[in-house]
């Protein structure tokens, strides 16, 4: 039996159904992944387990844990284990986020800043999701430039950990919001166009985009709008 051509009406229909299913599963898993993130952040805030992770130690733990989990997710993405590993990763990311949340909550208007960062991130996501479904242009060429931008950003962030410059943090956070917002559009368009067919990998990519936009917005708001008692 020959494989059905995607150029036929039936093939195109099957391909569209498959892409919609990947997108739907990705949205559901992305929403689910926020629960362990919140739980991890709560555990970090209430126990103070991450407060000692400052400077180089915090950087080593974060990078080692994050890249270890991402490697494990890619190894298990074609089985149910991949979902469990992804959710464990999002719990870890919540733990790592708790230090910044604690700092922001130290401001008089800390809760408002967190809600503003959350609303801003949600707004960026919905705008990029709408663009991804309406844009007809192929955005696959953006990938390599976004990757280069993310690598430069990571190097700059590592350097700033040791320098501790507020101005540097503002620049890095502003660039991160732009780069990862664009990455969000790129990753969503990959799903819509059928370039990404594994919903676990798709969720991981979008989660990282959302996490980085939220974290960068929170950092920027804390630096510019934090009110001390």
Characterize 70-107 residue by residue with b for buried, 16 or more Cβ atoms within 10 angstroms of its Cβ, and e for exposed.
eebbeebbeeeebbebbbebbbbbbbbbbbbbbebeeb
* Three-state secondary-structure class, residue 175: helix
- Do residues 187 and 147 make contact, with C-beta atoms less than 8 angstroms apart? no
Domain segments of the chain as ranges: 9-225
Q: Count other C-beta atoms under 10 Å from residue 160's C-beta.
A: 16
Instruction: Give the pTM.
Output: 0.88
Give CA–CA dist 179/150, Å, rounded.
7
Q: What is the pLDDT of residue 223?
A: 85
Give residue-wise pLDDT tens across range 71-108. Answer: 999 999 998 899 999 999 999 999 999 988 998 998 88
- CA–CA distance, 192 with 104 (Å, rounded to integer): 36
Closest CA relative to residue 108, chosen from 24, 20, 27, 225: 225
Confidence (pLDDT) at 16: 66
**CA–CA separation, 217 and 127 (whole Å):** 16
Quote the tokens at residue 86.
Answer: 């992804």
Q: Report pLDDT digits (tens) over 149-199.
A: 999 998 988 888 788 778 888 999 999 999 999 999 999 999 988 888 899
Residues 6+ apart with CB under 8 A from 4: 10, 11, 14
Closest CA to 201 of 76, 91, 96: 76
Q: Who has greater pLDDT, 225 or 79?
A: 79
């Amino acid at each position: 039996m020959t494989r059905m051509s995607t150029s036929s009406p039936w093939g195109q229909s099957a391909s569209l159904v498959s892409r919609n299913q990947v997108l739907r599963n990705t949205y559901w898993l992305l929403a689910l992944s926020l629960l362990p993130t919140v739980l991890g952040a709560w555990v970090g805030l209430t126990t103070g387990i991450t407060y000692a992770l400052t400077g180089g130690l915090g950087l080593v733990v974060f990078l080692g844990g994050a890249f270890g989990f991402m490697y494990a997710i890619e190894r298990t993405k074609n089985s149910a284990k991949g979902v469990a590993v992804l959710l464990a990763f999002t719990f870890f990311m919540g733990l790592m986020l708790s230090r910044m949340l604690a700092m922001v909550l130290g401001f008089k208007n800390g809760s408002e800043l967190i809600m503003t960062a959350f609303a801003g991130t949600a707004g960026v996501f919905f705008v990029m999701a709408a663009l991804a479904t309406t844009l007809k242009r192929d955005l696959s060429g953006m990938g390599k430039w976004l990757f280069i931008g993310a690598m430069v950003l990571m190097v700059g962030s590592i350097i700033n950990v040791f320098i501790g410059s507020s101005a540097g943090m503002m620049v890095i956070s502003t660039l991160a919001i732009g780069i990862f917002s664009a990455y969000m559009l790129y990753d969503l368009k990959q799903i819509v166009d059928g370039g990404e067919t594994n919903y676990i990998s798709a969720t991981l990519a979008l989660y990282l985009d959302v996490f980085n936009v939220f974290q960068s917005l929170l950092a920027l708001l804390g630096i510019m709008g934090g009110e001390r008692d």
